[in-house]
Amino acid sequence: MADTSLPSTHVAPVSQARGRGLSAFLYRRESVRGYLLMSPTLLIMSVGILIPFLILLVMSFWTRDGFDFDTTPTVNNYLRVWSEPIFGALLSRSFWISGIATVVTVALCYPMAYYVAFHVHKHKMMWIILMTLPFWTSYLLRVFAWKVILGYEGVINSGFMAIGWIEAPLEFLLYSQTAVIITLAHAWAAFAILPLYVSLEKIDKSLLEAATDLGDGPVARFLRITLPLSMPGVIAASFLIFIPTTGDYITPALLGGPDGAMIGNLIQLQFGAVNNWPMGATLSIVLMLWIAAIALVFLFLAQKAREKIA
Amino acid sequence: MDVVDQLGAMREGKLSRRAFTKGLMAAGVGLTTVPLAARRARASADDQATFFTWGGYDIPELFQPYEASNGALPNFSIFGGSEEALTKMRGGFVVDVAHPCNSGMPRWVQTGLFQPIDVSRLSNWPDVMPELSNLPGNDAEGGNIWMAPFDWGQTSVTYRTDMFELEGEESWDMLWDARYGGRLGSLASGGDAWWCGAIKAGVPFDQIATDEAFDAISAILREQRPLIRVYTDDTTTLEQALSSGEMVAAMTWNSSAVLLQAEGIPVKFARPKEGALTWVCGVMVHKDAPNLDRAYDVIDSLLSVESGRFMINDYGYGHSNARSFDEFDEQTLANLGSSKTPSDILDAGHFQIPQSQDWETRMNELFEQIKAGF
């Protein structure tokens, strides 16, 4: 306390009174307390996300002028995104690739999470750690690892050739959309396993017993109890994978080849070699809007599906 | 026991010794699997100069004098194309020394991001070949210059002599050969590929800025695109693909062919009948270079005979220090495809001509569209 370090004891009551005043103020105003608790996050959110977003938004209405920007507001960039086929094509390709990757990831991770949630009774923590262990390495390393696996002289090709299944290396494995989908599906698996596991773990086992008692077989029991109750996990996993992979840059850059480029690569080019920052900003905004729209539609459909099941 | 349980147990002080040990083990496994590369990257000291360069120049062999006087290597930052590098520096990335080429130099100077080089601070400057520093736009106040020339060379076709069946003479047509569709590679940067497209399309470089030239070159590059397995700025990717036979021919610089030959791979750096693309690259000093003294050490190190010997012998490039060539006899130089007289090589090919910023932007925009399939 400050009062102990002061020579005069006179001041002590005042500072205590002030302290009481402050805590009383905080006690009375719940909203102030809330904002104070949130303040570190709020600060980071506004400095790190909100302000850059506003800059991006403003810049998207500018135009490039040699090395500089022409700051007269115009919607030309948005019109270009609408009218020139390259932007639409890369956007839809990005949604296609990351949509497939999302479905594949969730489908592959669901059984894993299911197994740990229902059939592992000891050392569950250990299982979860083991499953997520590959994801403790750098994302870039994992992408490069897939380059080694899928490559022309990679693990798959040389393995198949040694067995004698193929004569010449399979060339579609690397530098293709397939390569990007495979890599994304593996690289983001941890983000599917954890939410799926949590939602499956929460399911009340007595509901399953009740379903069995009332005559449901394993399949009907899964479809009527387990799947609907784990839907929040499936939705969370889908979002966690779909949103970041749509804008993924490094995977298509390293493994995509000419036909595997995604919208993230195009945005990077606008800020790099093409040197058109306003266009890059516009593309980022358009991408965000599309993701938001798709996410809303997905949520709406999931809601409808749940109502129908219930 | 699940994750939440364990956290709850810890909060209540009921975490069993076994569970605690297990947690420790998990943390240990995690720590050891964190890649070591991050730690090594941090080891480079902040007070060393930063050299912003193309891939392949970030090697100790070029910095022996620097290392001898400063005790460590400079920091490296890598770019894939000079346009990308310029954009990054315009965005506020500060380096000490950067590595542009003659075609970009006037535009780099225009940005005002660089300072003239005080050549009196470079001990190797008297040996630098004057015809290399005497480039258009390379004169600043007081006899100083903007770009100290360092390396010069060619962009051409490296091909597998055992896999690529040559029809007639070596030519740029090799990279448009439909027989090898899907087994050809190209550099991704328009600074190389577009100019090579111009040579293939027969567009003279002094007319490369016309609309007709844009039409002709984009048509020829669109024709090539379905045949290309990958466009990349990473020369290692091209070298590995050539060495495994994944590609039979690729657009590369001298170094890829020389490196592969040194490994015993049957490749040849073509001398296309239409002429190769030739260039001179050099180093420029950032106006806000935080370690100016060491920036000059970087340049001096690059211009040294030691670096020159490596550049000529191991990479097959030309070097700007005339004395570097004295280490080799004529026959060795001829085998490496090099020459003591830069003009022999530079004039035999098509030398890049600096273009306006508008041209660069238009070219890059178009080339990126072509690469994406439009």
pLDDT value for B37: 45
Q: Measured between alpha carbons, how far is B97 from B283 in angstroms, rounded to an integer?
A: 6
Of B281, B363, B238, nearest in space to A269 by CA: B363
pLDDT value of residue B47: 84
Relative orientation angle of helices A30-45 and A11-28, to the nearest 10 degrees: 80
Query: Strands B277-286 and B114-115: what pairing?
Result: antiparallel
Which chain A residue shows the shortest CA-CA distance from B88?
A272
B42's tokens? 């941090």
- Do the chains contact at A124 and B1, CB–CB below 8 Å? yes
Nearest chain B residue to A260 by CA: give it. B372
pLDDT at B346 over 70: yes
A240 close to B (CB below 8 A): no
Per-residue confidence (pLDDT) for residue B18, from 0 to 100: 66
DSSP-derived pairing of the beta strands B148-160 and B249-253 = antiparallel
Please state, rounded to an integer, the average pLDDT across all residues of chain A: 87
Predicted local confidence at residue B264, as pLDDT: 94
**A129 interaction partners in chain B (CB closer than 8 Å):** 26, 29
**Count of residues in chain A:** 310
Q: How far apart are CA A303 and CA A297, in angstroms?
A: 10
List, in sequence order, every residue forming a beta bridge with B282; answer none if it has no partner.
B149
Q: State the virtual CA torsion across A297, A298, A302, A303 in degrees, nearest 10.
A: -30
Q: Which two tokens stand for residue B63?
A: 């910095």
**Predicted confidence band at B24 (pLDDT cuts at 50, 70, 90)?**
low
Angle at A72 between CA A70 and CA A78, to 5 degrees: 90
Give the separation between CA B148 and CA B99, rounded to whole angstroms.
10
Provide the residue type at B261 as one letter: Q
At B138-197, the pLDDT tens digits run 887 777 899 999 999 999 999 999 999 998 899 999 999 999 999 999 999 999 999 999
Helices (H) and strands (E) in chain A, counts: 17, 2
Q: How far apart are CA B277 and CA B348, in angstroms?
A: 9
pLDDT band at B12 (very low <50, low <70, confident <90, very high): low
CB-closest option in A66, A138, A273 to B35: A138
Query: Which residues neighbour A10 within 8 Å (Cβ) at sequence distance 6 or greater?
Result: none
B187 within 8 A of B249, measured Cβ to Cβ: no
Select the residue of B6, B87, B231 nearest A258 (Cβ to Cβ): B231
pLDDT at B45: 58
pLDDT tens digits, B235-278: 899 999 999 999 999 999 999 999 999 999 999 999 999 999 99
pLDDT reported for residue B27 = 63
Instruction: Count the helix, strand and coil residues of chain B and give each as a percent rounded to the nearest 5.
Output: 50, 15, 35
Q: Give the C-alpha separation, A267 to A277, whole Å.
A: 9
Of chain A, the percentage scoring pLDDT greater than 90 comes to 55
How would you class A269 by CB atoms within 10 Å of its CB: exposed for 0-12, middle for 13-18, buried for 19 or more?
buried
The residue assigned the tokens 């229902």 is A118
Asked if the model's pLDDT at residue B7 lies above 90, the reply is no
Check CB contact of A155 with chain B, cutoff 8 Å: no
Query: Token pair of B112, please?
Result: 């005002």
When pLDDT is cut at 50, 70 and 90, the band that residue A7 belongs to is very low
Name the nearest CA neighbour of B252 among B182, B261, B60.
Answer: B261
| Average pLDDT of span A39-60 | 92
Specify the pLDDT at position B357: 86
How far is the alpha carbon of A83 from chain B, nearest alpha carbon, in Å?
A: 13
What is the pLDDT at residue A12? 47
* pLDDT reported for residue B363: 94
Q: How many CB pairs under 8 A join A and B?
A: 99
pLDDT band at A302 (very low <50, low <70, confident <90, very high): confident
Pick from A13-27, A93-107, A165-179, A187-201: least confident = A13-27
Token pair recorded at residue A94: 């990005």
pLDDT at B33: 53
Distance CA A175, CA B230 (A): 7
Give the residue from A172, A171, A175, A188 showing the smallest Cα distance to A101.
A188
Which of B90, B190, B372 minimises the CB distance to A273? Answer: B190
Residue A154 forms contact with B (CB below 8 Å): no
Would you state the pLDDT for residue B212? 95
- pLDDT value for B16: 66
Beta bridge partners, B253, equal B155
What pLDDT digit, counting tens, does each position of B39-96 carry?
444 445 578 999 999 888 999 999 999 999 999 999 999 998 888 899 899 888 999 9
* B292 band by pLDDT with thresholds 50, 70 and 90: very high
Half-sphere exposure of B277 (CA within 13 A, CB side): 27
User: B103, B117, B86, B39: which is closest to B303 by C-alpha?
Assistant: B117
Residue B302 token pair:
């690059």
DSSP B68: H
Specify the DSSP class assigned to residue A9. Answer: T
Mean pLDDT across the stretch B290-299? 93
Given a cut of 70, whether residue B9 has pLDDT beyond it is: no
Model confidence at B34: pLDDT above 80: no
Interface ipTM: 0.80
Q: Do β-strands B318-319 and B267-269 pair in parallel, antiparallel, or remain unpaired?
A: unpaired
Beta strands in chain B (DSSP E): 50-54, 75-79, 97-98, 114-115, 148-160, 184-187, 228-232, 249-253, 267-269, 277-286, 318-319, 350-351
Asked which of B12-16, B98-102, B324-328 is least confident by mean pLDDT, the reply is B12-16
Quote the minimal CA–CA distance from B229 to chain A in Å: 7
Looking at residue B73, what DSSP letter applies? P
Per the prediction, chain B carries an average pLDDT of: 87
- What is the Cα Rg of chain A in Å? 27
> Locate tokens 């109502």: which residue?
A307
From A112, A98, A294, select the one nearest A190 (Cα to Cα).
A112
Which residues on adjacent β-strands are paired with residue B279? B153
Q: How far apart are alpha carbons B173 and B44 in whole angstroms?
A: 45
Question: In the prediction, which pLDDT does B39 show?
Answer: 43
Place B8 in a pLDDT band, splitting at 50, 70 and 90.
Answer: low
Give the minimum alpha-carbon distance from A100 to chain B in angstroms, rounded to a whole number: 21
Distances in whole angstroms, Cα of residue B178 to Cα of each of A164, B30, B134, B181: 29, 50, 42, 5
∠ CA B325-B52-B327, rounded to 5°: 10
Is the pLDDT score of A153 beyond 90? no
CA trace torsion B249, B255, B258, B263 (10° rounding) = -90
pLDDT in tens, A93-147: 999 999 999 999 999 999 999 999 999 888 888 898 888 888 888 999 999 999 9
CB B294 within 8 A of CB B74: yes
- CB-based burial of residue A5 (10 Å sphere; 0-12 exposed, 13-18 middle, 19+ buried)? exposed
Using the structure block, give the residue that is written with the tokens 């086992």: A205
Flag if B33 and A90 touch (Cβ within 8 Å): no
